[in-house]
A and B are shown apart, each in its own frame.
Chain A
């Protein structure tokens, strides 16, 4: 953009008015959750997990210090794809699977914006798999939040790429014969610089996770386990329910040993190169034997992407967090570099380049 409003740089400003980015010094009102609620009626099924994800998203928005006009929500198609209509920011409900591509172009044109992508397991991993992979590997500075309900909700209950093998759905009356994928493993293989998982109903944890995602710079992938109470009710109940979750889920903390359980007595230890569940105090196991989480370790991330109940507790939290140059930053740098070495483009010279002649 030649418009000075749209110059490169961080469009974030802290809510108390201090400039958090270049060139922003304007006093801004303190924003609250309510500022991010649009006037549109929310139309998900009553009891859907999407309500909670929306509420937590609206709650964390003021924390980032961006004025709301600098925040954009882009979605694909699916129940999840409705979310942008409910955010009082800029929003773009695009086409099935392509939101990461549209976000890539927007972010390239407008590095000053904070861009979120809202997607579903079918939208992101089926029809949009290619765009997901490539936006992650390019480290496009976009936060992708994937609502994983292990089903196609909007189209009324067909199997999705995360549906478990043998699952009976409308499109698989004899059970699916397709092995499911781990979304975290795909994000990892695609070299996302930030990967995390949370649960719709674990509101505090979800808020914390979204907050960390919002503060990351670069390709950010968050899988939210989401209950579709109409077409796949209770998909995660076995380990997310209040009564069992502490014993069946592992909350990741960077630099901390992998401990879980109501009594904080269970942990993950490596046996040769494979993880196993152990009990602290039994068979001579102490906390010192446990694996310590490291958000920069690719092997730990790979292992975490494959832990699942009932063989293991299901990990939630930040799996990976790396600092890498972002796509828009490298693009802007190249332009700055080319301009400083070759001078700002001179159209007249460009048109007259090469061999020319004059006709009288």
Chain B
């Protein structure tokens, strides 16, 4: 760490933790820049941590002598020195990283060589010096048997959509306007032309969703992605998709707001915008994967619902999920279900708004189908016939039908799963990327004997059918969210329970310790004992 990194991250490190600093970077100028009055390495303020001073710049510079690089170039490689040191410290194999360096700098072998030398120098420094008293051996995380790769949420999302296209037997059309942190999905999909994926960098967010709706109207799988500010712009068109009942998937990779906010930081504050941010009652289905791996599955699930129910589906991710990586067990293609649906071609008995009795979906009759010429649009439709109608009772009926169609999806999704006792003192309920922190906090308390359970919602509209029953089975319900209480409000309103929110919006994911402390605090208020 340099002084700036130290200042920004020290709060995250529990007392006793190891702190590795680049001594060389603690110059008077650098210290002053970030507002340190005295050098923390020497003023005793870091006493509660285990500080290791390493002159990384100097050591690295020496290791790279003779390569003929400029000082600036040498300086740029010092992170690899630090990384090499970490490899030694955690006893990890460096082969993957060296191969990556060779690949990344294949056009500039001298830079590849420098980075590899820095990496090795860092590793060797760990091995030969005696400043570290212990090495940390982290056994590989307990993973189920299978074939694995590392994957980020955005990568898994993009792959999931390509897989969905294959499983549905239709071309994917992806319209998008660049925005952090959603752009990487566009970049990735743009490279998949040989999978029949059509990408379209639109002139704005509205055109992106408009084009996606047009593609779906034509029988393709039209979709779009953005982050909060772009989702706001798409809302009117999303309402159109609700009215014309076409399949559509909208990805919201949430970031910190309001307005431009902190564009690279995470937040979960678009839930109410997605559910209720359109004019009128305008129901859409909403899914939210909880881990990078799940992003793949829920991309397919979003499309399964969109196609089967002829509805827009919003897929909610966030900056933490999008960029966070984890080992992903690569699914076998045979394990993935077909999500194909048929277009309407039969003339006999065709009405644009005659619904399927079980799903309430209307028929998907695409242009080019002889005899089914018809007109759709944003004006209210007569039930069954689909002609423009201002009839008051018809409008009321159609509003109820649109609502019932989405509500009916609850019978087609898995129930909310509970990790822990089926009833007890405390339920911690979350959604989206808070999964990992909540699960660890709950498990820590479970191991201390607390009566506590965890449930993570993957479907936010409709909620799983048993949600009411689950939240009513505990003395208290705690809902941690990286927003000011959006799911809490929904759960309170819908189930009339006194859910307790834990809300911190710092642009960062929750820490396990803070959730553990909050859960413990609540348990104490009801006199429950924690060992």
Chain A interface (Cβ < 8 Å from any Cβ of B): 1-3, 5-6, 11, 38, 40, 67-72, 74, 77, 84-85, 87-95, 98, 101-110, 112-113, 130-131, 133-134, 331, 334-335, 337-339, 342-345, 347-348, 350-360
A41–chain B nearest beta-carbon distance, Å = 10
Question: Contact: B215 with A108, CB < 8 Å?
Answer: yes
Question: Contact: A334 with B214, CB < 8 Å?
Answer: no
B387: chain A residues within 8 A (beta carbon): 40
Question: Contact: A89 with B213, CB < 8 Å?
Answer: no
- Mark contacts of B187-224 with chain A using CB atoms, 8 A cut-off: 1 yes-contact digit, 0 otherwise: 00000111110101011101110111111111110100
With most chain A CB atoms within 10 A of its CB, the pick from B143, B219, B388 is B219
* A360: nearest chain-B partner, CB-CB: B145
Question: Contact: A359 with B194, CB < 8 Å?
Answer: no
| CB < 8 Å neighbour of B373 from A88, A102, A351 | A88
Residue B169 CB within 8 A of the other chain? yes
Question: Contact: A109 with B147, CB < 8 Å?
Answer: no
B106–chain A nearest beta-carbon distance, Å = 16
CA distance A347 to B197 in the complex (A): 12
Question: Contact: A108 with B194, CB < 8 Å?
Answer: no
Q: Which of B22-30, B374-382, B506-514 has 4 or more CB atoms under 8 Å from chain A?
A: B374-382
A5: chain B residues within 8 A (beta carbon): 368-369
Question: Contact: B214 with A103, CB < 8 Å?
Answer: yes
CA distance A103 to B218 in the complex (A): 10
**Contacts A105-B214, A109-B222, A113-B218 hold; do A93 and B378 have CB atoms under 8 A apart?**
yes
Question: Contact: A92 with B194, CB < 8 Å?
Answer: no
Question: Contact: B330 with A356, CB < 8 Å?
Answer: yes
B109–chain A nearest beta-carbon distance, Å = 21
CA distance A352 to B151 in the complex (A): 11
Q: Which of B170-178, B254-262, B449-457, B480-488 has 4 or more CB atoms under 8 Å from chain A?
A: B170-178
* B239: nearest chain-A partner, CB-CB: A95
| CB < 8 Å neighbour of B375 from A67, A71, A91 | A91
Residue B372 CB within 8 A of the other chain? yes
| CB < 8 Å neighbour of A98 from B206, B330, B331 | B206
**Contacts A1-B171, A94-B240 hold; do A104 and B200 have CB atoms under 8 A apart?**
yes
CA distance A2 to B146 in the complex (A): 32
| CB < 8 Å neighbour of B194 from A69, A91, A335 | A335
- Mark contacts of B159-174 with chain A using CB atoms, 8 A cut-off: 1 yes-contact digit, 0 otherwise: 1001100100111010
A360: chain B residues within 8 A (beta carbon): 145
| CB < 8 Å neighbour of B367 from A38, A72, A342 | A72
CA distance A94 to B170 in the complex (A): 24
CA distance A88 to B370 in the complex (A): 12
CA distance A138 to B333 in the complex (A): 38
CA distance A356 to B148 in the complex (A): 5
CA distance A1 to B172 in the complex (A): 9
A353: chain B residues within 8 A (beta carbon): 149
**8 new A-B contacts at CB < 8 Å, known A72-B367, A131-B206, A342-B194:** A85-B388, A101-B210, A102-B213, A107-B214, A339-B193, A344-B195, A345-B192, A352-B147
Question: Contact: B163 with A347, CB < 8 Å?
Answer: yes
**Contacts A105-B200, A359-B143 hold; do A347 and B333 have CB atoms under 8 A apart?**
yes
Chain B interface (Cβ < 8 Å from any Cβ of A): 96, 99, 140, 143-150, 159, 162-163, 166, 169-171, 173, 175, 192-196, 198, 200, 202-204, 206-208, 210-220, 222, 236-237, 240, 244, 329-331, 333, 343, 366-379, 387-388
A346–chain B nearest beta-carbon distance, Å = 9
A77: chain B residues within 8 A (beta carbon): 378
| CB < 8 Å neighbour of A91 from B169, B372, B376 | B376
A91: chain B residues within 8 A (beta carbon): 373-377
B159: chain A residues within 8 A (beta carbon): 350-351
* B369: nearest chain-A partner, CB-CB: A69
Question: Contact: B377 with A105, CB < 8 Å?
Answer: no
B370–chain A nearest beta-carbon distance, Å = 5
CA distance A351 to B219 in the complex (A): 26
CA distance A31 to B378 in the complex (A): 30
With most chain B CB atoms within 10 A of its CB, the pick from A103, A108, A133, A343 is A108
| CB < 8 Å neighbour of B377 from A88, A93, A356 | A93
28 A-B residue pairings within 8 Å (CB atoms): A2-B171, A40-B387, A84-B375, A88-B373, A92-B376, A94-B213, A94-B240, A95-B378, A101-B208, A102-B210, A103-B214, A104-B210, A105-B200, A105-B212, A105-B214, A106-B214, A107-B214, A108-B173, A109-B173, A109-B220, A110-B367, A131-B207, A345-B194, A345-B195, A347-B333, A351-B159, A354-B150, A359-B146
**Contacts A93-B378, A106-B218 hold; do A359 and B373 have CB atoms under 8 A apart?**
no
| CB < 8 Å neighbour of A359 from B145, B368, B377 | B145
CA distance A347 to B196 in the complex (A): 12
Question: Contact: B373 with A90, CB < 8 Å?
Answer: yes
* B141: nearest chain-A partner, CB-CB: A359
Q: Which 4 pairs show the lowest CB-CB distances between chains A and B?
A: A93-B377, A105-B211, A105-B214, A101-B210
Question: Contact: B367 with A344, CB < 8 Å?
Answer: no
**Contacts A69-B367, A101-B210, A350-B159 hold; do A3 and B375 have CB atoms under 8 A apart?**
no
| CB < 8 Å neighbour of A105 from B175, B194, B236, B331 | B175
CA distance A359 to B142 in the complex (A): 9
B99: chain A residues within 8 A (beta carbon): 355
Question: Contact: A335 with B196, CB < 8 Å?
Answer: yes
Question: Contact: B369 with A98, CB < 8 Å?
Answer: no
**Contacts A69-B373, A130-B203 hold; do A102 and B193 have CB atoms under 8 A apart?**
no
Question: Contact: B193 with A335, CB < 8 Å?
Answer: yes
CA distance A221 to B489 in the complex (A): 50
CA distance A105 to B215 in the complex (A): 5
B282–chain A nearest beta-carbon distance, Å = 13
CA distance A25 to B340 in the complex (A): 29
| CB < 8 Å neighbour of B198 from A70, A85, A88, A109 | A109
* B332: nearest chain-A partner, CB-CB: A348
A102: chain B residues within 8 A (beta carbon): 210-211, 213-214, 217
B218: chain A residues within 8 A (beta carbon): 1, 6, 105-106, 109-110, 113
Question: Contact: B219 with A6, CB < 8 Å?
Answer: yes
CA distance A261 to B388 in the complex (A): 47
Question: Contact: A101 with B375, CB < 8 Å?
Answer: no
Question: Contact: B170 with A69, CB < 8 Å?
Answer: no
A74: chain B residues within 8 A (beta carbon): 214
* A343: nearest chain-B partner, CB-CB: B194
CA distance A255 to B275 in the complex (A): 59
Question: Contact: B200 with A350, CB < 8 Å?
Answer: no
* A5: nearest chain-B partner, CB-CB: B368
CA distance A65 to B302 in the complex (A): 39
Question: Contact: B330 with A351, CB < 8 Å?
Answer: yes
Question: Contact: B203 with A134, CB < 8 Å?
Answer: yes
CA distance A211 to B51 in the complex (A): 80
CA distance A89 to B333 in the complex (A): 40
A335: chain B residues within 8 A (beta carbon): 193-194, 196, 198
B343: chain A residues within 8 A (beta carbon): 3
**Contacts A93-B378, A134-B203, A352-B330 hold; do A105 and B222 have CB atoms under 8 A apart?**
yes
* B345: nearest chain-A partner, CB-CB: A5
Question: Contact: B146 with A109, CB < 8 Å?
Answer: no
Question: Contact: A93 with B376, CB < 8 Å?
Answer: yes
* A334: nearest chain-B partner, CB-CB: B193
With most chain A CB atoms within 10 A of its CB, the pick from B163, B207, B244, B372 is B207
B204: chain A residues within 8 A (beta carbon): 130
CA distance A101 to B201 in the complex (A): 12
B376–chain A nearest beta-carbon distance, Å = 6
Question: Contact: A94 with B206, CB < 8 Å?
Answer: no
Question: Contact: A11 with B368, CB < 8 Å?
Answer: yes
CA distance A168 to B331 in the complex (A): 67
A93–chain B nearest beta-carbon distance, Å = 3
* B97: nearest chain-A partner, CB-CB: A355
* B190: nearest chain-A partner, CB-CB: A334
